[in-house]
Structure 1
Amino acid sequence: MSLISLEDVEIAVGGPPLLEHASLNVEPGERICVVGRNGAGKSTLLRLLEGSLTPDAGRVRRREGINVARLEQAIPKGVTGSVFDVVAEGVGRLGALVARHHELSRRLAEGGEAPELAAVHAELDAHDGWQLDQRVEAVLSRLGLPAEAPFESLSGGLSRRVLLARALVSRPDVLLLDEPTNHLDIDAIAWLEDFLREFGGSLVFVTHDRAFLRALATRIVEIDRGRLTSWPGDYDDYLRRKAERAHAEAQENERLDRRLAQEEAWIRQGIKARRTRNEGRVRALQALRREAAERRSGPGQARLTVAEAERSGRLVAEAEHVDYRIDGRPLVRDFSTRILRGDRIGIIGPNGSGKTTLLRLLLGEITPDRGHVRLGTRLEVAYFDQHRAVLDESLSARDNVAGGEEFLDLGDGRRRHVMGYLQDFLFTPERAHAPISALSGGERNRLLLARLFARPSNLLVLDEPTNDLDVETLELLEERLMDYPGTLLLVSHDRAFLDNVVTSTLVLEGGGRVGEYVGGYSDWLRQRPAPAATPARATAGSREPQRPRGRGGKLSYKDALELEALPERIETLEAALERATAAVNDPNLYERGRAAVEAATAELERVQTELEQAYERWERLEAERERLAGGG
């Protein structure tokens, strides 16, 4: 028998139904990931499974005696007390008694008075509460949580770990997790993956983290336009089968529309049709009309447009032997790097390690204690920081982006009407005019991106841009960033996002060390100093922080392959440069018009830049190879 069953459930929260005739069974031991657009009803589905929400129609059945626990998407307000107190709340009324006994015992151990302790002790004896005390202690130990720390003093990531402990201490048969990776750093996400693989109950979770999804899900449940569809298997299988279904649905809709158009043309023949009409055919036409009217259109495709400024100089930023401390603690130590136009750099590190500080150093917003940072020329910076970015709550979504103007200047001579621009970010006219307070977390993040991308830039700085975005919007953002002609600095804990976007990574490895690696997150895992090391626990070494690490007196395998391939690439680029130079020098070029001249000039500049970068990379790797070979 299923643990929880939804039978023909319907529910609406204003507007179209979030779920229509939805059915779902949660079986013992499975791990279900719920996917769908922002606002599709994923959190609503979790609340239905939990029992905190009642459907408008249909039934929700639960196996008698099962225990269901839910971790909410947002950290709830008003949670106070020690970590022990908060976790103990997960076992109900006796949990409060256990927490009280813990507090009185601590007070007594510190030399204070605890006159109630005997009475609390007796009540725990009477209700066999000691098992609960041991259970709370065991969960705190397993999750590495500080029992006495005040909950309100914790970071976002640690707070969510405490709330997870509160859910787990009740020993749930079904655990419901709503965006569990929000506010967690990469280490914490990896820990959570391992923990949930060993969890013995059933798991239903919502996440935008595709690496997390791929690691855990045994079944995908999709919410799309009120329909709930179950897809057995992993995420990649779901994507393939979903594409096949979308193609079939489009063909069926096209067939329906074609037939409806034919029947409408027949009925419009007027008197001729009325004289010869077939009553059955008329009824069939009416049925076709109803079917077309009831068809709920797809959610639309996001189209993210990034405004572009004039190209920056070739050098964007250069740091030389930079040190920076906060309260005596080294965040950055002896750090050097060179960022060139077109680089896409990811910044990785645990929460609190100094990722945002490193960004501000590279942008010249703060002055290093030692060393210096040199910025390039013609920089136009657009900065996204979801924790510091502020939307004007008194304005609509439209006015937050356009400031009352009708048109936006997106650079390079492109102008867009603000409503058309916001539709690209999935804002309907109704939502575009809605007050900010009415927007969901995902909508607010899309609006922040819309406002950011409306500003022409050639240096894009994104500090945790992926939280609350649905997977489809995430993938589109990836595409736009990969096509962005400027320079990108990206802080993110989303491993798949880093792998798909960045070309190199800066890793805060602890003690002020900043390592530089070619590639994204997965490349860093292969190149990092030792398999056990993480950004928070890497051990000190003799490696220069700004260079790829060599092992055993030679380049890494990946760097050695790159060095071997570079001479051939340089020859290819030199030949391409000759052709591009000849094209620009061809007198006939200028007879073909301005567009042809600009295209040829742009091609020459592109090849020149790529050739310079290839030479520089070859020189850097060759110097590193010689250094490692000589033991220096």
Structure 2
Amino acid sequence: MSTLIAAENLGHAYHDEWLFKNLTLGIQTGQRVALVGINGAGKSTLLKLLAERFSPLEGKIVKNKFVKIGFLDQEPSFPDGYSISDFIFSLENKQQQLIREYEELIEDPNPDEQKLNRLYEELSEHNAWEYEHEIKTILSRMGINHLQQQISTLSGGQKKRLALAKLLIEDPEIYVLDEPTNHLDIDTIEWLEKLLTSGNKTILLVTHDRYFLDNVCNTIVELDRGKIYNYNGNYAYFLEKKSEREAADESTFQKNKNLLKKELEWMRRMPAARTTKSQSRIDSFYDLESKTKQRTDNKTVTLNVKMSRQGNKILELDHIGQSFTDKNVISDFSYTFKHGDRIGLAGKNGTGKSTLLNIITGYLKPEKGIVGKGETTVYGYYKQGGLAFNEKERVIDIVKSDAEYIKMADGQTISASQLLTLFLFPPKKQHGMVEKLSGGEKKRLHLMKVLMQNPNFLILDEPTNDLDIDTLNVLEEFLENFPGVLILVSHDRYLLDKMSEQLFIMEGNGDVQIYNGNYSEYRISLDVAKDKPATKVVKADTISSAPAPVKLTYKEQKELDDSEQAIASFESEIAALTNGLSEIDPVNYQQIQDQTLKIQTIQQHLDKTMERWLELSEKAGSTT
């Protein structure tokens, strides 16, 4: 493999603070590299330097001048006055210009037939029909349909998808992607995974999505306190080796700490004679002091804020209905929330997820139905768009505007400054301006403000966007122990699988289906149903307080009959997958792991179906 791009002795500072110095990194043909590290470590800056968006303060970027780099910024910018069509189609590309003219013409309700015939001939002459289909597929997947629309009218998420579409159409030699899965629904993420792993693409990306990272990348590069660590393997391998490295670092740190204490005593003795001391030993002291101080900055976020008491009545949705400009978003949805509900809200972009959340929290009054909120219910609503911070305000003043003191889960009361420190905002950042925070740090500040409200009904709308993986791990630990109601909207399949026990699925036609299980189980049930038309995907009914009937209803009898077929299908699927394990090359660990995970997930689905079958069988037997 040849090196396509390399960073040599790279150094760069931001707001007078060095992010890294003497950093060296090479990306080879066919490598798909994930760059990981905590928020503020300099990941986005490193991507921009490698994409040649600006020059480093120290060192250089080396690449062949003919190598084309495609860069997806976390927050893309666009030329003023451009339409989607202006941005997407390159003036230098004859095929793209023909496709542009054709696509714009067929959008016209009364297209010029002569122009259409001419374009048909030219597209055929330039062998552009396959390319046209490819471009149309990419635009459709990204939800881009109206080429004449002005970019200035698009939302932030639409702009990110537009920038990604442009990059995929250009198909550069090197893909440099900063959070490519933000603002994509899960179906589109899975499609993007297949696209990026086809061919021999060279990729460098930053992502918080661990399933995406595992499915796309074959190398992980960690940026930690200005240094680079390379791991040739998947995310699980990275975690294992990182843990080993940190254990070694901890041992070295303790030795350095003990040595520093001795050297400090030496430095303090006989200050008047300091000029006679060994200069090399003095230099070594300051070097050791710098290393030890740097090591102590590496802490973890702690989330343990207090939860408000929750009464018996939490929230009741009674025959909710909502539509916008003749589009039916929610038809007739009812649900009574229970203690400990952990619900994942799933559906494609534009199916009404945010509408349902706004109805639940009272930001939107539904056209039909009743929302009955319990007196003790306290919402904590982390919105996808984030908070509109005053960039010129100090970080600590943002927190103090809510409360000077905050009560923690253990009953302890701490100051706003102490809470910020727990959330990895040291005093220097606390008294600095919001504009100096990275995108991920702003999201962490937003999350902290939400948790400060001591909610017992927590709604997280895409909480993973721009958060580093370390913070996500801590968030997951907090959510696992959170005793209140949780509603989670996320394109992060790992988080949905781990945190949700039930799904509200927005179908896009006004229907909201309720499914008992996590996202992977739901997808497998759809695959099984697709492969076996006779198999029914079992979905849970809306919770009802009505007493159970004394015999099987028609619906229950049909469910009992269908579950027998479903059980047979699941067992057959497990047997086939188990037999297939012996055919996989033993060194192909990733394929074995994926196959095993699929077997385990189907087995869980089988167990649930068996439980329901037994329940219905016993009930049917008791009435005979």
Same fold judged by TM-score > 0.5?
yes
| AA aligned opposite 1:554 | S
Alignment of 1:237-386 (within 5 A): 237-265=237-265, 283-284=280-281, 286-294=283-291, 296-297=294-295, 299-363=297-361, 366-386=364-384
Counterpart residue number, 1:590? none
For the structure 1 residues 323 and 62, does the alpha-carbon distance in structure 2 shift closer, same or farther, using more than 3 Å as the test? same
Pairwise CA distance, 1:147:
6.2
Aligned to 2:167, the other structure's residue is in SS state: helix
Counterpart residue number, 1:577? none
Counterpart residue number, 1:396? 394
1:143 aligns with 2:161: no
Counterpart residue number, 2:44? 43
Pairwise CA distance, 1:420:
0.9
Q: Distance in 1 between matches of 2:347 and 2:621?
A: 31
| AA aligned opposite 2:508 | G
Alignment of 1:91-110 (within 5 A): 92=92, 110=110
Give yes or no for contact 1:306–1:456 (8 Å, CA) kept in 2. Answer: no
Q: Spell out, residue by residue over 1:175-220, the C-alpha distance to the aligned partner (whole angstroms, 9 max, x if none).
A: 1111101111111111111111114321111111111111111001
Q: Spell out, residue by residue over 1:342-395, the C-alpha distance to the aligned partner (whole angstroms, 9 max, x if none).
A: 222221111111112222334455454555443334212222213264334553
1:464 aligns with 2:473: no
Q: Distance in 2 between matches of 1:25 and 1:101?
A: 41
1:546 to 542, 545, 558: 542
Q: Distance in 2 between matches of 1:80 and 1:428?
A: 42
Q: Mean Cα displacement is larger for which, 52-61 or 520-529?
A: 520-529
| AA aligned opposite 2:420 | L
Q: Distance in 2 between matches of 1:490 and 1:249?
A: 36
Q: Mean Cα displacement is larger for which, 77-86 or 26-35?
A: 77-86
Structure 2 segments unaligned to the other structure (5+ residues): 544-555, 572-609
Q: Distance in 1 between matches of 2:384 and 2:109?
A: 44
Q: Mean Cα displacement is larger for which, 49-58 or 369-378?
A: 369-378
Pairwise CA distance, 1:95:
8.8
Counterpart residue number, 2:584? none
Counterpart residue number, 2:503? 505
Q: Mean Cα displacement is larger for which, 446-455 or 515-524?
A: 515-524
Q: Spell out, residue by residue over 1:268-310, the C-alpha distance to the aligned partner (whole angstroms, 9 max, x if none).
A: 6659x99xxx977x84464244233255335433434353344
Q: Mean Cα displacement is larger for which, 30-39 or 167-176?
A: 167-176
TM-align CA RMSD: 4.2
Pairwise CA distance, 1:321:
4.0
Q: Spell out, residue by residue over 1:390-442, the C-alpha distance to the aligned partner (whole angstroms, 9 max, x if none).
A: 33455322122211864234577532111111111221222222333333221
Q: Distance in 1 between matches of 2:325 and 2:404?
A: 48
Counterpart residue number, 1:76? 77
Aligned to 1:554, the other structure's residue is in SS state: helix
Aligned to 1:10, the other structure's residue is in SS state: strand
Give yes or no for contact 1:88–1:98 (8 Å, CA) kept in 2. Answer: no
Give yes or no for contact 2:525–2:537 (8 Å, CA) kept in 1. Answer: no
Aligned to 2:39, the other structure's residue is in SS state: coil
Q: Distance in 2 between matches of 1:156 and 1:492?
A: 17
Q: Mean Cα displacement is larger for which, 309-318 or 93-102?
A: 93-102
Give yes or no for contact 1:550–1:628 (8 Å, CA) kept in 2. Answer: no
| AA aligned opposite 1:232 | N
Pairwise CA distance, 1:16:
3.4
For the structure 1 residues 542 and 443, does the alpha-carbon distance in structure 2 shift closer, same or farther, using more than 3 Å as the test? closer
Give yes or no for contact 1:335–1:545 (8 Å, CA) kept in 2. Answer: no
- Structure of greater Rg: 1
For the structure 1 residues 530 and 299, does the alpha-carbon distance in structure 2 shift closer, same or farther, using more than 3 Å as the test? farther
Give yes or no for contact 1:345–1:489 (8 Å, CA) kept in 2. Answer: yes
Q: Distance in 2 between matches of 1:80 and 1:129?
A: 32
Give yes or no for contact 1:344–1:487 (8 Å, CA) kept in 2. Answer: yes
Q: Mean Cα displacement is larger for which, 38-47 or 175-184?
A: 38-47
Give yes or no for contact 2:417–2:427 (8 Å, CA) kept in 1. Answer: yes
Q: Distance in 2 between matches of 1:62 and 1:136?
A: 29
Q: Distance in 2 between matches of 1:104 and 1:524?
A: 39
| AA aligned opposite 1:316 | I
Give yes or no for contact 2:347–2:506 (8 Å, CA) kept in 1. Answer: yes
Q: Distance in 2 between matches of 1:23 and 1:132?
A: 43
Q: Distance in 2 between matches of 1:628 and 1:19?
A: 69
For the structure 1 residues 24 and 405, does the alpha-carbon distance in structure 2 shift closer, same or farther, using more than 3 Å as the test? same
- Of all paired residues, the percent bearing the same amino acid is 31
Counterpart residue number, 1:166? 166
Counterpart residue number, 2:553? none
Q: Distance in 1 between matches of 2:363 and 2:65?
A: 60
Q: Distance in 1 between matches of 2:65 and 2:365?
A: 63
Q: Distance in 2 between matches of 1:114 and 1:190?
A: 41
Q: Distance in 2 between matches of 1:203 and 1:103?
A: 30
| AA aligned opposite 2:562 | G
| AA aligned opposite 1:17 | W
Q: Distance in 2 between matches of 1:111 and 1:194?
A: 36
For the structure 1 residues 622 and 399, does the alpha-carbon distance in structure 2 shift closer, same or farther, using more than 3 Å as the test? farther
Counterpart residue number, 1:15? 16
Q: Spell out, residue by residue over 1:296-335, the C-alpha distance to the aligned partner (whole angstroms, 9 max, x if none).
A: 3354334343533442123422334443333333322343
For the structure 1 residues 95 and 429, does the alpha-carbon distance in structure 2 shift closer, same or farther, using more than 3 Å as the test? farther
Structure 1 segments unaligned to the other structure (5+ residues): 534-538, 562-617
Q: Mean Cα displacement is larger for which, 167-176 or 65-74?
A: 167-176
Give yes or no for contact 1:181–1:189 (8 Å, CA) kept in 2. Answer: yes
1:203 aligns with 2:212: no
Aligned to 1:477, the other structure's residue is in SS state: helix
Pairwise CA distance, 1:233:
0.9
Q: Mean Cα displacement is larger for which, 428-437 or 1-10?
A: 428-437
| AA aligned opposite 2:215 | A
Aligned to 2:295, the other structure's residue is in SS state: coil
1:443 to 422, 441, 444: 441
| AA aligned opposite 1:514 | V
Give yes or no for contact 1:31–1:203 (8 Å, CA) kept in 2. Answer: yes
Counterpart residue number, 2:406? 408
| AA aligned opposite 1:219 | T
Q: Distance in 2 between matches of 1:551 and 1:346?
A: 27
Pairwise CA distance, 1:29:
1.1
| AA aligned opposite 2:175 | L
| AA aligned opposite 1:443 | E
Alignment of 1:119-138 (within 5 A): 137-138=132-133
Counterpart residue number, 1:192? 192
Q: Distance in 1 between matches of 2:17 and 2:231?
A: 24
| AA aligned opposite 2:56 | P
Pairwise CA distance, 1:107:
10
| AA aligned opposite 2:288 | E
For the structure 1 residues 107 and 510, does the alpha-carbon distance in structure 2 shift closer, same or farther, using more than 3 Å as the test? closer
Pairwise CA distance, 1:156:
5.0
Aligned to 1:391, the other structure's residue is in SS state: coil
Pairwise CA distance, 1:490:
1.8
Counterpart residue number, 2:35? 34
Q: Mean Cα displacement is larger for which, 395-404 or 19-28?
A: 395-404
Q: Distance in 1 between matches of 2:367 and 2:360?
A: 13
For the structure 1 residues 400 and 265, does the alpha-carbon distance in structure 2 shift closer, same or farther, using more than 3 Å as the test? closer
Aligned residues: 556
Q: Distance in 2 between matches of 1:73 and 1:100?
A: 27
Q: Distance in 2 between matches of 1:233 and 1:627?
A: 51
Alignment of 1:58-69 (within 5 A): 58-69=59-70
2:515 to 510, 514, 517: 517
Aligned to 2:17, the other structure's residue is in SS state: coil
Pairwise CA distance, 1:59:
2.7
For the structure 1 residues 163 and 553, does the alpha-carbon distance in structure 2 shift closer, same or farther, using more than 3 Å as the test? same
Give yes or no for contact 2:135–2:169 (8 Å, CA) kept in 1. Answer: no
Pairwise CA distance, 1:542:
9.8
